[in-house]
Chain A
Amino acid sequence: MKMDLVICGVGGQGNLLASVAIANYAMRKGLNVIGTETIGAAQRGGSVVSHLRISEEKIYSPTVPAGAADVILGFELVEALRHIDRLNPGGCYIVNSETVPTVLGNMGLDRYPPEGEILRELRLRSAKGYLINASEKARELGGAIMTNIVLLGALSRVLPFFEQEDLAAVLAELLPAKVLAVNLQALKAGYDLVA
C-alpha cells in the first residue's frame, strides 16, 4: 500500500483540514504518513498546496515528486492545473468545478484560462478524472466551508482504500460535535456525487 496525494486550492478553502483528515485516516489504518504544505500568503487568497504521502514502508521525503502523485484533489480548477504535472499517468484527479478568479485576471491584467482548456490539460494526464461541483453541494447543505468534506466523500467513492465508517470516525475526532452531523451528510453527498 502506497499513496501519494497532492491537495491544492486557494487559502481559506479548507484544504488543510482535508489533508489532516486523510493523514489521521492513514494513521488509523496503521500506515506511515508524512505531509507538507506550501502556504505562501494564504490569508489573502494565495495558492495553498499540501503534499501527503501514505505508505506501509518508511517514507523519507515530505514532497511528492513530479509525475508521482496517485491522486490530485483539486479544490479549484486553476490550482488543479498548476499541480497536474505531479500526477502519474495511472493516477486520478478529483476536481471541484468551482473557479476562484485570480486578482490579476479579474483586473484584466492576466488571463484565467477557460474551463475547456483546463479540462483538456487535465485529461491529457490521466483518463481517470472526476469533475464535481463540490462547492455548490456544500452550499446546499449549509456552507461552502464544507467543500473539503464533500471532496473527501468523492475521494472515498473513487478509492476503495477509504472506508466510510473509519472516515466518519476520523471526522468525529477532528470536528466540533455540533457540526459533525451536517459534515457527515456532506461526506455522503460527496460520495453520491461521483457516478
Chain B
Amino acid sequence: MKASYVMGNKAIAAGALEAGVSFVTGYPGTPATEIVEECLHGEDVYVEWSVNEKVALEMATGASLCNLRSLAVMKHNGTNFAADFIMHLNFTGVCGGLVLVSADDPGGNSSQNEEDTRILLHTYGHLPVFDPATPAEAKEMIKEAFELSEEMGSCYILRPVMRICHSRSVIQLSAQKKLQRVPQFVDDRSRFVMSAVSEPRAGGKMRPLWRHALLNQKQADFSRYAEESVFNSIEDGVGPIGFVGCGIGYSYIKEAETVLRRKFPVLKLGTLPLPRQKVLTFLRGLEKVVVFEEIEPVVAGLLRGICSDEGLTVKILGRDQFLPGEGELTTEEVIAAAARLGLVERPAAVKPAAVEAPVRTRTQCIGCSHRGLLSALKQVSRKNKAIVTGDIGCYDAGSFPPIELQSTIFCMGSSIPVASGIAKTGIDRPVVAVIGDSTFFHNGLLGLVGAVSNQSRITVVLCDNRTTAMTGFQPHPGSGENIFQETVPALSPEKIGQALGVKTRIINPYLLEESKTILDQAIREEGVSLVISRAPCYLLSTRRGGQPYFARREVRMVPERCNGCKICINDLGCPALYYMEDENRVAVDLKSCVHCGLCADLCRRGAIITV
C-alpha cells in the first residue's frame, strides 16, 4: 500500500482496478473524464472512449454478460442520454459486476446544466446508488459496488459530485486485482430478451411485468444491505435538531461542527435505498432535521415518507425549502442553517470585494481553427440573415461576446434537429447548425440522417478538428487513433455526407475569403448541405510538436490606418487583439500572437498587414 496525494477521480479508478475491473468504457465529460484515463494504468484492462454514453453502458453490459467486471463512466448529461438503456438494464440485471459512475456537477462549473442523477437512477430506475462523502470513501464504495453487483445480479451506481471528482487528498493505493476470468456467455433469454411476450416461468405473465416485479423484490435485498452498510451511521449529539448528511453533505456538516466546536446529532447517509431502521432510530426523539444533499431533495422526500408511514411528527427541512434549491453546498451553508434554527450565533457576513473582478469568458485559444470559421460564418450569416444553432465543444464560445453567432445550445447533438425543426416551419431565413466532430459522432449523425430523410433545408457546418478538444483531447471515431494512441481507421465525415446524398464541401477555416464564398453557396442551396471545416486543433497539434495548419504570416500594425472600427474584434475576437480606448485604436499583442494572419485578412483599412 502506498499513500499518495491524488485526485478523487484517480481514487475512483484505483478502486475499480483493486476490485478487478477488466473492461472500462466512457465518453469524456467534466468532471468524470479522468476516471477512464486513470484506468489505463491497469494491466490487461480493456479501455475505450465509446462513441457516446449510451453506447458506453451497452458495451460495458456486453462485457458483464460475459462475466467480466466492467465499468461505464459518464457525467450527468451522459446518464440522461443512456436513460433508455438504463430502464431496461434495471429489469434484466447483470452477470459480471457492472458499475456505472454517474458524476454530477452541482453548480454547473463545467456543464450546460446542473442536475441530480440520483433521481433518474434511483427514484426512477430503482437502482442502488452510492453517494460518497470523500474520495477515500468513493474508492471503498466502488469496490463494494462491484462485489454487490455480482452478488445481487444488479447494476450498481456510484454518484460522485464534482467536489469528489476534483478534490485531492491522501489515498492509500493498493495493487490491481487480476481476476483472470475467461469470458463466457450463457444464454438466459427470459432475462436478457426484453420483449412483450408471456413468460412461462412466471405462469404466463407478460415478461415486462414479471421483470418489473423481480426488480421490486430486489429492493428488499438492497435495503437489507443498506441497513448494515458501514457507509450509513448515526453520531450522537446534543439537542432536538438533527443534521442528515448525504454524500458530500456529510463532510460540510462535520466541517461546520469543527468550526463551531459543537456536536449535533448527525445521520450520515451514503446509500440509496435508505437504511430504514437506522433512519427511524435517528429520527425518534428529534423535532426537526435538516437534510444536506446535492442537489435535489431526494432523501428529504424519502424521510418525509418514512415519517408519514410511521406516524412520526419530525419536521424535515431540505433543499425544497429552508436550504437553497440550486448549486453546491458549503460549510457556510450549514453554519447559516444552524444559525437560522437558533442553534448558534449568526456569523458576521463576509463582505464581497467592492471592486468587481471582471469575468474571464471562455474563448478559443489564440491560433484556433474555429476562429476563422466562426468569423466567416458570422459574416455570411449576417448577410443572409441566417439563424445559427449551436452544439457543445470549443466552438460553442462563438455564442458569447464578441462573436454571438450561435443562437441556441442545448445538449449533445441537438444543433442539427433543432435547426431542422426551425427550417421545417417554413420560416423565410436560412438555418445553419454548427457542430463539432466528436459531438457529430456522439449523436449528431442521427440528426443529419433525419434531416436528409425528411428533406429539411439546412446547412450543417462540421468543425472537424480531429479530437475532443474541450475535455482534453480524447480521440473519437474520426481521430484515427484510440485511447491507447494506437492507429485505427478514421471515419470520414465527407464519405458519410456523400453516402447520405448530401452535397458536401470542405473548407480550410484559415482561408477566410474562400470559406466565406463556400459557406455562402451552401447556405443558399436547397435541401441539406454539409460544410466540413477541416483543420486540426491548434493547441493539440502544436503541443505534440507539429506545425500549425496555417502558413505563418508575420503581422504588423500600421497604427495611423486604424480608425477604431473594431471589426477585427467583433468579427474575429482573437485574444491577441486589444483595444486602446485613449487612442481609439486596436493593437496586436505580439507576445501572444501566433501569426495566423486572420486579422490582417479581415481589416479592410490595411491597419493590420502581413509582411
Contacts and interface: CB of A to CB of B under 8 A. Distances in A.
A44 B364 contact: yes
B575 interface: yes
B499 interface: no
B579 A45 contact: no
Interface stretch (B167-175, B380-388, B435-443, B504-512): B167-175
Interface in B106-128: 109-110
Interface in B338-368: 350-365
Contacts of B331: 61, 63, 65
Give the interface size class of chain B. 35 or more
Interface string A19-49: 1100110010000111111111101111100
A109 B355 contact: no
A173 to B, nearest CB: 11
A23 B166 contact: no
Given A62-B163, A103-B575, A112-B358, A121 B353 contact: yes
B597 to A, nearest CB: 19
B273 to A, nearest CB: 25
A67 interface: yes
Contacts of A14: none
A66 B350 contact: yes
Interface in B464-491: 470, 472
Contact of B169 (A24, A62, A63, A102): A62
Contact of A36 (B166, B332, B352): B166
Contacts of A46: 360, 362
Interface string B150-186: 0000000000000100111110000000000000000
Contacts of A61: 251-252, 254-255, 330-331
Nearest to B362: A41
A90 B473 CA distance: 43
Give the interface size class of chain A. 35 or more
A63 B163 contact: yes
Interface string B390-432: 0000100100011000000000000000000000000000000
A81 B579 CA distance: 23
A85 B350 CA distance: 7
Contacts of A71: none
A47 B357 CA distance: 11
B258 interface: yes
B254 A60 contact: yes
A143 interface: no
B358 A110 contact: yes
A131 interface: no
Contacts of B258: 57, 60
Interface in B527-579: 539, 566, 569, 573, 575, 577-579
Contact of A113 (B259, B355, B470, B566): B355
B583 to A, nearest CB: 11
Contact of A118 (B250, B355, B362, B579): B355
A2 to B, nearest CB: 10
A120 B354 CA distance: 10
A44 B168 contact: no
Contact of B352 (A24, A43, A85, A107): A85
A62 B170 CA distance: 12
B581 interface: yes
Contact of A108 (B358, B362, B581): B581
B575 A106 contact: yes
Nearest to A106: B578
Interface in A141-177: none
Contacts of A109: 401-402
Interface string A56-90: 01011111011100000000001101101100000
Interface string A87-98: 000000000000
B166 A37 contact: yes
B192 interface: no
A128 interface: no
Nearest to A113: B355
B577 A110 contact: no
Contact of B357 (A65, A81, A101): A81
B322 interface: no
A38 B166 contact: yes
A61 B332 CA distance: 11
A24 B252 contact: no
B5 interface: yes
Interface string B492-534: 0000000000000000000000000000000000000000000
Contact of A105 (B330, B351, B358): B358
A166 B456 CA distance: 67
Interface of A: 10, 19-20, 23-24, 27, 32-41, 43-47, 57, 59-63, 65-67, 78-79, 81-82, 84-85, 101-113, 117-118, 120-121
Interface of B: 3, 5, 30, 109-110, 134, 163, 166-170, 250-252, 254-255, 258-259, 330-332, 350-365, 394, 397, 401-402, 470, 472, 539, 566, 569, 573, 575, 577-579, 581, 589
15 contacts: A19-B168, A33-B5, A40-B360, A43-B539, A59-B255, A60-B255, A60-B258, A67-B350, A104-B359, A106-B578, A108-B579, A110-B359, A113-B357, A117-B355, A121-B354
